[in-house]
Amino acid sequence: MKRADLNHDEKLSYEEVQGLLTMINIDLNEEYARNLFKKCDRSCDGRLDHGEIEVFCRELLRRPELDAVFSRYSANGCVLSTVDLKDFLKDQGEDSSLIHAQSLILTYELNEWAQKNGYMTPNGFTMYMLSKENNVFDPDHARVYQDMTRSLAHYFISSSHNTYLTSDQVTGYSSTEAYIRALNQGCRCVELDCWDGDKGEPVIYHGHTLTSKVPFTEVIETIAEYAFKASPYPLILSLENHCSVEQQAVMARHLRSILGDKLLTKPLNEQQLQSLPSPE
C-alpha cells in the first residue's frame, strides 16, 4: 500500500487504487472498479483509508457461489460453528472430526473474536475454500513426478512457435522479451527464424513480412541467461535457417562463444547412438 500511496497521506485515491491493482496484477473492468471504490468509500471523501482498503480487498476476493454454500450450512446465517463446519466437511467426504474443524478455524479465520470462540466468518470460509487444501490439482503434481529417464523422443515437449514475436506475424514486434517470457514459463523448445542481416550479422524475424528484426546475438545472449532458470531440462533451439553460408558460420561462432559448455555439440555417450538422451 505504501508504494501506491503517492502523496503519502495514508489514503488511496481512485487513481492510486488503480496503481495498486496494477502492482498486484489485477485487471478490473473500469465501471466495476469505480462502483466498488464508491461502495467502499464510506467516508465519501474520494479516498480509501486502511479500513476501507481492507473492505475493498475483501470484496475483490468475494465469491457469490461460496456465499451460497456458506449460507446453506450456517445455522444462524452469520457464522459457521465447528458443528456447522463439521457437517460441511462430512458432506464433502473430508475429515469431519470436530478437531479438524477447529484446526481449520484456527488456520484460516482472521477475525480474532470468531477464532477465539470457534466460529468461521464468511471471509474465513472464503480463505479456506480458496486455499491449497481445496486445489483441484493433485499437489504431488506440483513437482515433476513422471519418469524422466527415457529418451527425449518419448515425451511431449512444451514448444513455442515464432517465439521472437510479441504480436502478429505480419507487422508484429520481434523482441528478446518474448524469449524471456517463454523460458520463464518452462518452454523447452524455442524457434529462431534466422536471416542474413546488415554488416554480416544474422537477424531473427518473420521473413518476407513487415515484422521488426532482432539481432541473432541478442537472442542467444538472452537464451544463455534464461535457459535453465525455470527448468533444468534440455532446451531445444529450433533454427529455421535462411542465412547464407557466410552468415551461417557467424551463427555457429556466436552459438559456441555465447553458450559455451551449455551447447551440446557431440553425443553425450558415444556408445549409445541408437536413441536420443533422456532429459536427465
- The 10 Å Cβ neighbour count of residue 255 is 20
- Residue range 106-129: mean pLDDT, rounded: 94
Active-site residues, by number, are 161, 206
The 3-state DSSP class for residue 223 equals helix
Q: Which CATH superfamily is domain 155-262 in?
A: Phosphatidylinositol (PI) phosphodiesterase (3.20.20.190)
Fold of 12-61: Recoverin; domain 1 (1.10.238)
What is the distance between the alpha carbons of residues 53 and 263, in angstroms, rounded to a whole number? 51
CB hemisphere CA count around 93 (13 angstroms): 1
pLDDT digits (tens, 9 = 90+) for 179-201: 999 999 999 999 999 999 999 99
Percent of the chain with pLDDT over 90: 60
CA 1 to chain centre: 22
pLDDT digits (tens, 9 = 90+) for 71-100: 999 999 999 999 999 999 999 999 999 999
CB hemisphere CA count around 9 (13 angstroms): 9
Residue 257 to residues 58, 221, 232, 261, Cα–Cα distance (Å): 53, 10, 21, 9
C-alpha cell at 251: 551463427
Domain ranges across the chain? 12-61, 64-131, 155-262
Q: How confident is the model at residue 57 (pLDDT cuts 50, 70, 90)?
A: confident
Q: How confident is the model at residue 272 (pLDDT cuts 50, 70, 90)?
A: low
Specify the CATH number of the domain 64-131: 1.10.238.10
Largest CA distance in the chain: 80
Lowest mean pLDDT among 37-51, 219-233, 262-276: 262-276
Strands 236-241 and 189-195: parallel
Same fold, 12-61 and 155-262: no
- Residue range 222-231: mean pLDDT, rounded: 95
- The 10 Å Cβ neighbour count of residue 251 is 19
- Which pLDDT value is given to residue 244? 96
